[in-house]
Structure 1
Amino acid sequence: MTTSALANGLSSLKGSTVQLECPVTVTDSGNLHWNFRFGSQDMIYSINSRINPHLPADILERINITGNHTIGEYHLSIRELQESDNGIYECYITGTASVYRHQLTVIVDPSSVNIDNVLEDEKLQGTEGKDLIITCRAVGGQPQPDLKLLISGIIVAIGKQSLHFTLLKISRSYDRKTITCYAGNEEISHYQIVDSAKLYLNLKPLWPIFLQKSVSTEETVPLNVSCISHGSRPAANFTWFIGQTNMDVTINSTETKTLNLSTETFSVTSTLSYSVDRTYNRQMVTCKASNINV
Structure 2
Amino acid sequence: MVFWFRDDAGIPLYSFDVRGKHLSEARHWSAPEVFGPRAHFSTAPPPASLLVRDVKRRDEGVYRCRVDFRNTQTTSFRYNLTVVVPPEKPVVVDRWGRVINATTLGPHEEGDDVLLTCRVLGGRPEPSVRWLVNGVLVDEEYEHNTGDVIENRLLWPAIRRADYAAVFTCQAANSPLVPPKEVSLVLDMFLRPLTVEIKKPAETGEGGALTAERRYEVACESAGSRPPAAVTWHKGKRQLKRITEELRDNLTVSAMSFVPTLDDDGKPISCRAENPNVTSLFLETSWTISVVYPPVVKLRLGSSLAAGDIKEGDDVYFECHVRANPPARKLSWLHDDRPLAHNATARVFHSNQSLVLQKVTRHSSGRYACSALNAEGETVSNELHFRVKYAPSCRSGGVSVVGAARGESVVIVCEVDADPPAAVFKWKFNNSGETLDVAADRYTSNGSASSLKYTPVADLDYGTLSCAAANEVGAQLAPCVFQMVAAGKPHAPRNCTLWNQTADSAEVSCVAGFDGGLPQRFLLEVYSGGDDKPRVNLSAEEPSWTLRGLEWDVRFRLVAVAVNSKGRSAPARLDDLLFPDPEKRTASESPLGAGAAGAASAAAAGAAAAVALAGAAWRAARRRRKPRKPPAPPPDKAPDLDDAEPDLIPNNYCDAGPASLRRR
TM-score (norm 1): 0.58
Matched, 1:227 2:220: yes
Structure 1 residue ranges without an equivalent (≥5) = 1-44, 67-73, 83-106, 261-265
Letter in 1 for 2:140: I
- The residue number in structure 2 matching 1:162 is 151
Q: Separation in 2 of the partners of 1:125 and 1:168?
A: 14
Given the superposition, is the C-alpha separation of residues 60 and 223 from structure 1 closer, same or farther in structure 2, using an over 3 Å criterion?
closer
Matched, 1:108 2:85: yes
Counterparts of 1:234-245 in structure 2 under 5 Å? 234-243=227-236
Q: Separation in 1 of the partners of 2:199 and 2:226?
A: 21
Given the superposition, is the C-alpha separation of residues 199 and 257 from structure 1 closer, same or farther in structure 2, using an over 3 Å criterion?
same
Q: Separation in 2 of the partners of 1:60 and 1:228?
A: 68
SS in 2 for 1:63: strand
Q: Separation in 1 of the partners of 2:241 and 2:220?
A: 15
Letter in 2 for 1:170: I
Letter in 2 for 1:123: T
- The residue number in structure 2 matching 1:267 is 251
Given the superposition, is the C-alpha separation of residues 53 and 293 from structure 1 closer, same or farther in structure 2, using an over 3 Å criterion?
same
- The residue number in structure 1 matching 2:211 is 218
Residues 86 and 178 in structure 2, CA contact (< 8 A), matched pair in contact too: no
Residues 128 and 169 in structure 1, CA contact (< 8 A), matched pair in contact too: no
- The residue number in structure 2 matching 1:78 is 80
Q: Separation in 2 of the partners of 1:254 and 1:217?
A: 21
Query: 242, 267, 281: which is aligned to 1:283?
Result: 267
Q: Separation in 2 of the partners of 1:189 and 1:176?
A: 31
Given the superposition, is the C-alpha separation of residues 198 and 61 from structure 1 closer, same or farther in structure 2, using an over 3 Å criterion?
closer
Residues 132 and 168 in structure 1, CA contact (< 8 A), matched pair in contact too: yes
- The residue number in structure 2 matching 1:128 is 109
Q: Separation in 2 of the partners of 1:274 and 1:155?
A: 56
Q: Separation in 2 of the partners of 1:61 and 1:210?
A: 74
Q: Separation in 1 of the partners of 2:200 and 2:177?
A: 60
RMSD: 3.4
- Larger helix proportion of the pair: 2
SS in 1 for 2:211: coil
Residues 240 and 288 in structure 1, CA contact (< 8 A), matched pair in contact too: yes
Deviations 1:98-136 (A, max 9, x none): xxxxxxxxx53212113346564x222232312222332
Q: Note the C-alpha offset of 1:159.
A: 3.2
Residues 238 and 250 in structure 1, CA contact (< 8 A), matched pair in contact too: no
Deviations 1:39-80 (A, max 9, x none): xxxxxx97xxxx3549x98689942359xxxxxxx996322x
Given the superposition, is the C-alpha separation of residues 290 and 189 from structure 1 closer, same or farther in structure 2, using an over 3 Å criterion?
farther
- The residue number in structure 1 matching 2:172 is 183
- Larger strand proportion of the pair: 1
Q: Note the C-alpha offset of 1:151.
A: 0.8
Letter in 2 for 1:114: V
Letter in 1 for 2:107: G
Residues 126 and 132 in structure 1, CA contact (< 8 A), matched pair in contact too: no
- The residue number in structure 1 matching 2:387 is none
Q: Separation in 1 of the partners of 2:224 and 2:131?
A: 28
Letter in 2 for 1:77: Y
Residues 174 and 180 in structure 2, CA contact (< 8 A), matched pair in contact too: no
Residues 183 and 191 in structure 1, CA contact (< 8 A), matched pair in contact too: no
Q: Separation in 2 of the partners of 1:290 and 1:52?
A: 77
Q: Separation in 2 of the partners of 1:204 and 1:146?
A: 38
Task: State percent identity of aligned pairs.
Answer: 23
Q: Separation in 2 of the partners of 1:273 and 1:222?
A: 7
- The residue number in structure 1 matching 2:188 is 200
SS in 1 for 2:107: strand
- The residue number in structure 2 matching 1:41 is none
Deviations 1:17-52 (A, max 9, x none): xxxxxxxxxxxxxxxxxxxxxxxxxxxx97xxxx35
Structure 2 residue ranges without an equivalent (≥5) = 1-5, 14-32, 35-57, 66-75, 94-98, 143-149, 202-206, 279-664
Residues 133 and 167 in structure 1, CA contact (< 8 A), matched pair in contact too: yes
Q: Separation in 2 of the partners of 1:211 and 1:134?
A: 44
Given the superposition, is the C-alpha separation of residues 216 and 75 from structure 1 closer, same or farther in structure 2, using an over 3 Å criterion?
farther
- The residue number in structure 1 matching 2:238 is 248
Q: Separation in 2 of the partners of 1:209 and 1:131?
A: 31
Q: Note the C-alpha offset of 1:289.
A: 0.7
Given the superposition, is the C-alpha separation of residues 61 and 277 from structure 1 closer, same or farther in structure 2, using an over 3 Å criterion?
closer
Residues 130 and 137 in structure 2, CA contact (< 8 A), matched pair in contact too: yes
Deviations 1:154-197 (A, max 9, x none): 112223322222222211111122222110138x6965212223
- The residue number in structure 2 matching 1:139 is 121
Q: Separation in 2 of the partners of 1:175 and 1:249?
A: 33
Q: Separation in 2 of the partners of 1:215 and 1:190?
A: 71
- The residue number in structure 2 matching 1:292 is 276
Letter in 2 for 1:280: D
Residues 140 and 152 in structure 2, CA contact (< 8 A), matched pair in contact too: yes
Please identify the structure whose Cα radius of gyration is greater.
Answer: 2
Q: Separation in 2 of the partners of 1:215 and 1:267?
A: 26
- The residue number in structure 2 matching 1:86 is none
Q: Separation in 2 of the partners of 1:167 and 1:192?
A: 23
SS in 2 for 1:239: strand
Flag the structure with more relative contact order, 1 or 2, with Cα contacts below 8 A and sequence separation at least 6.
1
